[in-house]
Amino acid sequence: MRPIHFPHALLAGLLILASGGFAAAASTTSQRPNVLFVGFDDLSDWIQLLDLASPIPMPNLDRLAQRGVTFRRAYCAAPECNPSRTALLSGRLPTTTGVYANASDWKQVMAETVMLPRYFREHGYASFGAGKIFHHVDPHFHDNASFDEYLPFLTDRLPAEKYNQLTRARTPDGEWEPLAPTFDWGPSVIPEPEMLDTRSAKFAVELLRRPPGKPFFLAVGFFRPHLPYFSPQRFLDRYPGPEMPLPLVKAGDLDDVPAGAHALMRRWMRMWRGIQQSPNPQAKWREAVAAYAAGAAYADEQLGRILDALERSPHRDNTVIVAWSDHGYHLGEKDHWTKFVLWEKANRVPLVIVAPGVATPGGISDRPVSLVDLYPTLVELCGLPARADLDGLSLVPLLRDPDAPRDRPALMTEMPGNHAIRTDRWRYIHYADGTEELYDHQNDPHEWTNLATDSRHREVIAAHRRWLPAREAPAAPDFNPNPPAR
């Protein structure tokens, strides 16, 4: 086991927590452990937990890392919300289910699937949820059968006019395309107690104050730092735009990426073009990154409120905690903004698991793992009947020994035919048109040099191709909010 390293400013607080707080002791009763399942939306790996050079601390996420295992090579199953969350909650990959896109109607193709919170509910747990857990485009994407009690996801109100007046961008073909009204940032227009993530944290805090009863599964889905990047002013004050550091980028970074990569990017270039075409692109870029960082800080504070409540509760020593993000995020790296691509930044996610009596406190694992592994992991940790129909592999061996061997890489999919394979050293990408990318993370952590056309790496590519899915489920139909009358 290797100890995890934290920024010096956090070390003192972490040492205090190590002497108390989340005591990593096994349960002294026969009761199955509770589960606290906390998700962030669009939280990238550019945070200090995973990158000490990052300007974005998340001290409460670090608190969890001190008590459990941090998976430094954790990946989503798909770099967009609906397919990622559907995979995480079902334990099944997009290539198994056909849920490839945000619009995919998972209920049409997965009607008999028992989602993770529902599985716990069917095995004696009280199941609670708040915020964004399933995808939020329409209430149809929510699964009522998964929860005994749920605080609905209601998006925060947008301001009457955009703070950031980027409204459209010109394509390389000279056409104008509108930017989403949600591509905006600034101080929240609603009071902090009424904001979605504040209300979700309050729901969890109040639930943790209830006297012990049945074991619980509590899922809390924070919406921040998802766009629009609105936070209370006090968080924006921490990140003055003109002083905000920017992520590392390389001029001409896209010169060696193939047609398949450009095809995926083309669908989602509007926001990055909007920044680049503004009167002062560098200043606008810093503003947007600063507002994103403020959203991460706001969400982390809400996590801290829940952790404080758990610490004061009778559940503190008998609760498994999982903190995750649904996918990664680009903030200008590789000339890209948001997700929807198969590079490391869009797919690598923060993942921390605290399992009293099982997880190695302060441990870090560099084995590539997937969010689809969480379903079988929690089933095993809580002693529920194992399921043979899941695509994931339990992470319990890595919780006990973060360096334990693991013979499966992580698979990511973005729309049919486009896949990435992540092993310890390499990221291999194969696109639907047959084009490829290969990156050596040992020597090129920013993925600046595509090695796929280098004949010296033919054997590496061949070894990774073997992990591509042999079969892919047909794409699920898009959800239709206004189906034709019968």
What's the CA gap between 43 and 39, in Å, rounded?
9
Q: Torsion over CA of 361, 363, 365 and 370, rounded to 10 degrees?
A: 30
Contact 207, 218 (CB under 8 A): yes
> Cis (ω within 30 of 0) for the bond into 228?
yes
**Which residues are bridge partners to 421 per DSSP?**
411, 428
Nearest to 323 by CA among 88, 1, 6, 77: 88
Query: Can you tell me which residue has the tokens 């020593």?
Result: 317
Nearest to 142 by CA among 225, 63, 133: 133
E-strand stretches of 245-382: 319-325, 330-331, 337-338, 348-349, 351-354, 363-365, 369-370
Residue 325's φ and ψ, nearest 5 degrees, are -120, 150
Residue 26's φ and ψ, nearest 5 degrees, are -70, 155
Could you list the active site residues? 81, 135
Report the DSSP pairing between strands 149-151 and 419-422.
unpaired
Q: Under DSSP, is residue 374 helix (H, G, I), strand (E, B) or coil?
A: helix
